[in-house]
Amino acid sequence: MVFGMPTIKASTLLNIGIAVFEAVGSPRYEAEIVSSSLVEADLAGVHSHGVMRIPYYVEHVREGLIKPGARVEIVRETSTTAIIDGGGGFGQVAGRRASEIAVSKALSHGISAVAVVNTGHIGRLGEYTLYIAENGMVGLGFCTTYRASVAPYGGRGRRLSTAPISIAAPSSRFPFLLDYATSIVAEGKLRLKYLSREPTPEAWIVDAQGRLSMDPSDFYERGGALLPFGGYKGYALAMAVEILSGILVGAGFPCSGCYKGMNSILLIALDPSVFVGRDVFVNDVSKYIEAMKSTPPAEGFLEVLVPGELEYRSREEKLKTGVPVEDEVWARIRRTIVELGLDLDRLLSEATPP
């Protein structure tokens, strides 16, 4: 057993996740997809969407918000589009299916748009655009989530979801990956601060009275709202994301009171073959990345980074060194394992010392 803040091998975390999700009713393939999605997020350094979600997903199953083993089916389809109903199951299963279909349709037709509705939390939106980029295409992703938690610019009530957006493109170094919430931070990051009882580094919240706040409990205990990033520009982008991945695909919008499911997404795949050509595209994106990286650093910076670079480096490093797991997150995971009657010591036997 490991106490304190442990660093755990990705393969051990993967096994823990698989065991937990099988214990709450997922078939093996589903447990593997969900667990690997969470571990990949931790490897990329996106801990807000990593194994910290395990206890929350178990709660969602208990509350009936996620149905293990749900049937994922295409409910509407053309040669370039599809709408997938996730059956109220784990979002990662429907999300992965959507990205595979998006790639296969774009391979045949140059472009595709595939939506997922009625599904649980899909995790990191970038997982799906990255899959499209790894298949040589440009991936665009938009996601609406069921909880209105963000205030419109100039407002103090919760109306928008954190509505993430992602765009990925292949290069010869590492994939370009834009992947972020249109709120000032993803809600999971605020939750990590709340759990560790830390203030936020700047005002991430507007409290119930409309004052800027750095205290996470103003959000979790006193009805405050997250701010959109970039003032009115982030607010506009959040609305655009919800129009594309909520209203357009038939899931609705979160503050309506009748949004369907926990997440809905729209993925668009563009094959460079029908534009500039795949080789030219990859070559030019690689040169473009180099152009950014060759910028002399500004005061206070060591280097210019390109979107996707931190995640790529983090994965390379953590595959070797293991994944650090916050104390509080680790305590919750351990409690979940014990509550489910799983053998904690056996699951941890591969853990590396901190």
Binding site for ligand NAD (CB under 6 A): 46, 48-49, 121-126, 143, 145, 162, 164, 166, 177-181, 185-186, 189, 263, 305-308, 310-311
**CB of 278: closest distance to ligand NAD in angstroms?**
23
DSSP state of 142: E
Give the E-state strand segments of the chain in sequence order. 7-8, 73-77, 81-85, 111-119, 138-145, 165-169, 176-180, 205-206, 212-213, 225-226, 263-270, 323-324
SS (H, E, C) 152-190: CCCCCCCCECCCCEEEEECCCCCCEEEEECCECCCHHHH
Residue 296 Cβ vs ligand NAD, minimum distance, rounded to whole Å: 15
Shortest CB 65 distance to ligand NAD, Å: 13
* Residues paired with residue 119 on neighbouring β-strands, in sequence order: 263
What minimum distance in Å lies between the beta carbon of 275 and ligand NAD? 23
Question: How near is the Cβ of 351 to ligand NAD at its closest, in Å?
Answer: 26
| Closer CB to ligand NAD, 49 or 105, in the complex | 49
- Closest CB to ligand NAD among 26 and 245? 245
Secondary structure element (H or E) that encloses residue 239, with its range: helix 232-242
Nearer to ligand NAD, 262 or 347 (CB): 262
**Which residue's CB is nearer to ligand NAD, number 216 or number 351?**
216
- Shortest distance (Å) from residue 261 CB to ligand NAD: 11
User: For ligand NAD, which is the closer residue by CB, 257 or 297?
Assistant: 297
CA distance 273 to 269: 12
What's the CA gap between 343 and 16, in Å, rounded? 10
Give the nearer residue to ligand NAD in terms of CB position, either 83 or 181. 181
Under DSSP, is residue 201 helix (H, G, I), strand (E, B) or coil?
coil
Query: If residue 284 lies in a helix (H) or strand (E), which one and from where to where?
Result: helix 278-293
